Structure 1
Amino acid sequence: MRRRSLMWILWPSFLIAGATSAAVFAAIDPLDISFFGFFQAERQAVYAGGFFLFWVMAALSSALTLHLAPRGRLEDEFGDPVPD
């Protein structure tokens, strides 16, 4: 995979993960979350885990979008190739 493709995947997904984390944790207190009914995690651990979970989900979405994008030469309205 090219470095440019990684940039197209990771940077937007990082921004979305930050916004999603802010929205979710503005409504939910991490200390109110218990895992498996009894395990209570620290606030920072839940924030970090949530951010990375959202980042992975958004990165997978961006990667799938890039994978499904049409490949081939881009042409302008006159049929001439568009330079990269």
Structure 2
Amino acid sequence: MRLRWLMWVLWPAFLMGGAATATVFSVVDPGDLTFFGHQVEASREAVYTIGFLVAWLFCALSSGLTLYTMPTKLEETDELE
């Protein structure tokens, strides 16, 4: 069951992380990024990779939180009574 839970969280997060990365980097040039006033000294591929991983992490946290807050079968039967 735990592997199925991971699939429910990580696969949609992977898809949305890819969509979010494509959306952000279609507008933002990785060569123009600055953090706290300093130019980012990394290759474009590194910036794309880090951006994707951060987007995937946030989407996975969102999906995981949604799955965590879903009512269980025990809670559903308690509400019906």
Q: Sort the TM-score into its range (normalised by shorter chain).
A: 0.7 to 0.9
Once residues 3 and 40 of structure 1 are traced to their aligned partners in structure 2, the CA distance between those partners, rounded to angstroms, is 38
Structure 2 segments unaligned to the other structure (5+ residues):
none
CA shift at 1:40, angstroms?
2.5
How far apart are 1:37 and its partner, in Å? 2.0
Question: Which contiguous aligned blocks of 4+ residues in structure 1 show a shift greater than 3 angstroms?
Answer: none
Over the matched positions of the two proteins, sequence identity in percent amounts to: 51
Asked if the contact 1:21–1:50 (Cα under 8 Å) also holds between the matched residues in 2, the reply is yes
| Structure 1 or 2: more helix by fraction | 2
Q: Provide Cα deviations, 1:5-53, integer angstroms capped at 9, x if missing partner.
A: 0000000000000000000000000000023322422211110000000
Larger radius of gyration: 1
Specify which structure has the bigger relative contact order, considering alpha-carbon pairs within 8 angstroms and separated by 6 or more residues: 2
Q: Is the 8 A contact 1:10 1:59 kept in 2?
A: yes
Q: Give the Cα separation in 2 of the matches to 1:70 and 1:18.
A: 29
Give the TM-score normalised by the residue count of structure 1. Answer: 0.81
